[in-house]
Amino acid sequence: MTREALVPVAFRVNGSPRQLEVPARRLLSDALRHDLRLTGTHVGCEHGVCGACTVLVDGRPVRSCLVFAVSLEGSEITTVEGCCNAEGGMGPVQQAFQDCHGLQCGFCTPGFITTITAYIDENPDPSEVEAREAISGNLCRCTGYQNIVAAVQRAAELRASTSPTGGPGSTGGPGSTGGSGAIGGAGT
């Protein structure tokens, strides 16, 4: 059997330019995990239902298991590893998940972090109903969602308190342990 042809593709991931040569059928989720070793993005159902693999493409949440990496030439991709604050510590959404105990096993968390990061940019003051709607495309089998809904609202508060004045991370918190240790950022 002949070796599968490789296709070159260039995009930015968490601000850094990346160039890959991958088979055309390589899903973005696999390109991130296998080729770029960014294992924070988790693969659950692999057909677009669970939301665990959600990343941001040009600022908007997208299922990374439902796009081919080669199709994203020129795009700006943000994974959970890029949802940290300027110092590499926990970003507001990660901090909110810690504050509200918004995760148990943590498998679904990267998809929630990316989805909520984009959502609170769009809606900086969500009601509880809006918070539920915002996460309705992400499945969690542990928490029962109550604490995740609370975390959406807490994240919006943290974002509001940090963004205009003190800069990201000014709320501090004990979790500023660096990007790789941030919630949802640890690889599996």
Partner 1 sequence: MKPSPFTYHRPGTIDEAVEMLGALGATGKVLAGGQSLVPLMSMRLAAPEHLVDINHVAGLDRVEVEERTVRVGATVRHRDVELHDGAHAAIPLIRQALVHVAHPTIRNRGTTVGSLVHADPAAEMPAVLVLLDGSVELRSSRGTRSVPAAEFFVGPMESSTTADELAVAATFARPPHGSGTAFHELARRHGDYAMCGVGAVVTTDGDNAVTAARAALISVGAGPVLVDLAGAVTGSGGGFQEAAVRDLLDAQIDPEDDIHASAEYRRHLAHVLTARVLDEAYAAAVVTRRGEEVA
- For partner 1, the binding residues (CB under 8 A) are 4-5, 7, 23-25, 27, 30, 46-48, 51, 54, 57, 60-63, 65-68, 70-71, 73-74, 115, 134, 136-137
Q: What are phi and psi of 7, to 5 degrees?
A: -115, 130
- Min dist CB 30 to partner 1, Å, is 8
3-state SS, residue 14: coil
- Min dist CB 177 to partner 1, Å, is 29
- Min dist CB 31 to partner 1, Å, is 12
* Both tokens assigned to 187: 């690889």
* CA separation for the pair 155, 99 (Å, rounded): 9
* CA separation for the pair 151, 39 (Å, rounded): 23
Of 48 and 166, which has the nearer Cβ to partner 1? 48
> DSSP character for 161?
H
Of 151 and 169, which has the nearer Cβ to partner 1? 151
Residue 21: which residues within 8 A CB-CB, separation 6 or more?
6, 7, 8, 9
- Min dist CB 82 to partner 1, Å, is 17
* CA separation for the pair 182, 67 (Å, rounded): 26
Q: Contact 47/23 with Cβ under 8 angstroms?
A: no
- Min dist CB 154 to partner 1, Å, is 21
Of 13 and 134, which has the nearer Cβ to partner 1? 134
